[in-house]
Chains A and B, each alone.
Chain A
Amino acid sequence: AQTVTQSQPEMSVQEAETVTLSCTYDTSESDYYLFWYKQPPSRQMILVIRQEAYKQQNATENRFSVNFQKAAKSFSLKISDSQLGDAAMYFCAYRSAGNTGNQFYFGTGTSLTVIP
């Protein structure tokens, strides 16, 4: 089974500053998807950004971007111009590619605090 590791249980960032959340994964597959999900105190899981392994270009979504290093099996999330609303638990997730029912594998999460 694939494993996803988030080595930072907690992170903090000053409002308007930039923070990077780390994620590494272990797989023998060559084609897969990677995701970052945000879970605010409301408990709702919200998709932040996704990356297809076959794409070399790093995904970006407004203030959120990733640094995808396929050879190193690393997938970090950068949040620029941090806002109070970014405070949440962030989960990194992995899924095999293909039209099957493959499950997602999640990391243990990083709790992000935004300091005003």
Chain B
Amino acid sequence: DAGITQSPRHKVTETGTPVTLRCHQTENHRYMYWYRQDPGHGLRLIHYSYGVKDTDKGEVSDGYSVSRSKTEDFLLTLESATSSQTSVYFCAIREIRNRESGGYTFGSGTRLTVV
């Protein structure tokens, strides 16, 4: 599997402060995703990227922005953190080299607490 790392692993921040989470991959995967995981909701897509500087919104994008200036890095920013953004955040990549592929490889997640 491709290497994918997220940082930080845990973070506590105050309401109203900006927060940036980082996802880094060591392979040349085109597609990268940010999900949030909440009890009773499973994982929901925040934003995704299909190339450098190419991003699009998911179903829960309000209050979040992303950037991808290099293939290997996909950043998620909470512009002004709120308590409703307390969650576990996962980054994922997907291979599209052949039709038989199609699973996600996930990072280890970031637990973010907004107080």
Segment of B65-73, B79-87, B96-104 in the binding face:
B96-104
Please encode chain A, from 38 to 52, with 1 for each CB lying within 8 Å of some chain B CB and 0 for all others: 000011110100101
Interface size on B, residues (CB 8 A): 28
Residues of B within 8 A of A1 (CB): 59
Residues of B within 8 A of A42 (CB): 108
Interface size on A, residues (CB 8 A): 24
Main secondary structure on chain A at its contact with chain B? loop
Residues of A within 8 A of B31 (CB): 101
**Knowing A97-B99, A99-B96, A107-B42 touch, does A44 contact B106 (C-beta < 8 A)?**
yes
**Knowing A35-B103, A44-B106 touch, does A106 contact B90 (C-beta < 8 A)?**
no
A45–B104 CB distance below 8 A: yes
